[in-house]
Structure 1
Amino acid sequence: MTFSKDGLRELIGHEAIVQTRYRDSKGIWTIGVGHTANAGAPDPKTYRGEMSIPEVVELYLDDLKSYIAAVNKAVKVKVSQTEFDALVSFHFNTGGIAKAALVTSLNAGDRKKAAAEFLNWKKPPEILKRRTKEQTLFATGAYQNGGKANLVPADTTGKVEWSKGKAIDLTKWL
């Protein structure tokens, strides 16, 4: 399967957009929509520029390819578009699609149990809101972010300035 435009927007709505390099919650240099050096160039540790929104989106779409492929490999049953979108979002955040109990339950045909198991991945505590939205998308097909995401600056030390963020409509770019 492929990731839908609604799914693309939903995931960015969970993540936010930062056009300059920043340190994520674990101190890892990151840029754009969760792009780290592990995903390939550019290396946020050495990148000193500011990406345009179209550049961020292009990088995001490229990064997503491996996550989409991993979900397609892990899921052995037919899923709806919204279920797939929720699974890609989950995997983008956790990297755990291959070992998640929710995939075992889904592949065994128990969608209700699979939906409940999204909440097995709720650390750190601030991730619970996102995980609940992914669970809702999986179980009911309801996207939650309205096609919007936060555009947030970071200072020169890599600290994200959440209080200076502003909501943007992603339909212009996706």
Structure 2
Amino acid sequence: MKISDRGVLEIAEHEGIVPAPYRDSVGVWTVGVGHTAAAGGVNPAKLPRGMPADVDAAVLDYLRLFDADLDKYEARVNAAVKVPLKQHQFDALVSFDFNTGGIYRAKLTEAINRGDKGGDGFMGWVKPPEIIRRRKAEQALFRTGNYDANGDQIPIWDVDSNGKLRGILKTISGAELQRLMASTGSGRKIAAGPKRSPWAGLIAALLALIGKGKS
């Protein structure tokens, strides 16, 4: 299976995009969309500190890395889970493994492979405490198909030269994230989630014009 469009947005909203190395809540060097050395490839601890001169170019670079990481975590979930999954269940597990790296050893996975799809095991991974909201969102997604991400609040963070987050530079929409990922040339074919209304683009454009008129 491949992660769906909405699953990609779910992870991106949970993680945000940080175009320079930073220490996460437990001190692990991280960059881009939740990329750590454990994912392989780029080691954030060895990257230059501080914000890049060209933030937009750095964001594109780290979206390429995000795409490669998604391939790895999709493969891990496909290998670890031996029973059929619905799309929203697969998406929830990719998000879980992307954050914890625990898909192979989690009791959650053991339960699913026994046929227990209650999702109780998500809440066995709740350290540090600030991750609890994400675990609850993943559990709800797995159980109900309720995607927590609303697709228009993906933050791009500012970070100082010591690897400390300083605040949000701006947010981008899910549609903009997809456009940027497509522009990287990675070729990712995001699996189909629920189809958007053909009027969605027109409505978004009209809302943008109204917003400009108020500014």
Compute the displacement of 1:42 (Å): 3.4
Corresponding residue of 1:132? 136
1:6-155 alignment, distance < 5 Å: 6-48=6-48, 49=52, 50=55, 51-112=57-118, 115-147=119-151, 148-155=153-160
Q: Flag structure 2 segments of 5+ consecutive residues without an equivalent.
A: 179-215
Does the Cα contact within 8 Å between 1:54 and 1:173 map onto a contact in 2? no
Q: Flag structure 1 segments of 5+ consecutive residues without an equivalent.
A: none
Compute the displacement of 1:165 (Å): 4.8
Compute the displacement of 1:26 (Å): 2.6
Distance 1:86 1:140, change over 3 A: same
Compute the displacement of 1:46 (Å): 3.2
Compute the displacement of 1:140 (Å): 0.5
Compute the displacement of 1:56 (Å): 1.9
Compute the displacement of 1:62 (Å): 0.6
Superposed CA RMSD in Å reads 1.7
Does the Cα contact within 8 Å between 1:7 and 1:85 map onto a contact in 2? yes
Does the Cα contact within 8 Å between 2:158 and 2:169 map onto a contact in 1? yes
Distance in 1 between residues matched to 2:24 and 2:154, nearest whole Å: 17
Task: Look at both structures and tell me which one has the larger radius of gyration over its CA atoms.
Answer: 2
Structure-2-length-normalised TM-score: 0.74
Compute the displacement of 1:156 (Å): 1.2
Residue range with higher mean Cα deviation, 88-97 or 117-126: 117-126
Structure-1-length-normalised TM-score: 0.90
Compute the displacement of 1:41 (Å): 4.1
Distance in 1 between residues matched to 2:121 and 2:91, nearest whole Å: 16
Distance 1:123 1:43, change over 3 A: closer
Compute the displacement of 1:172 (Å): 1.6
Distance 1:170 1:153, change over 3 A: same
Q: For 2:88, give the aligned amino acid.
A: T
How many aligned positions are there?
171
Compute the displacement of 1:27 (Å): 2.2
Distance in 1 between residues matched to 2:108 and 2:169, nearest whole Å: 33
Residue range with higher mean Cα deviation, 50-59 or 87-96: 50-59
Q: For 1:154, give the aligned amino acid.
A: V
Identity %: 44
Does the Cα contact within 8 Å between 2:25 and 2:128 map onto a contact in 1? no
Does the Cα contact within 8 Å between 1:155 and 1:161 map onto a contact in 2? yes
Corresponding residue of 1:159? 164
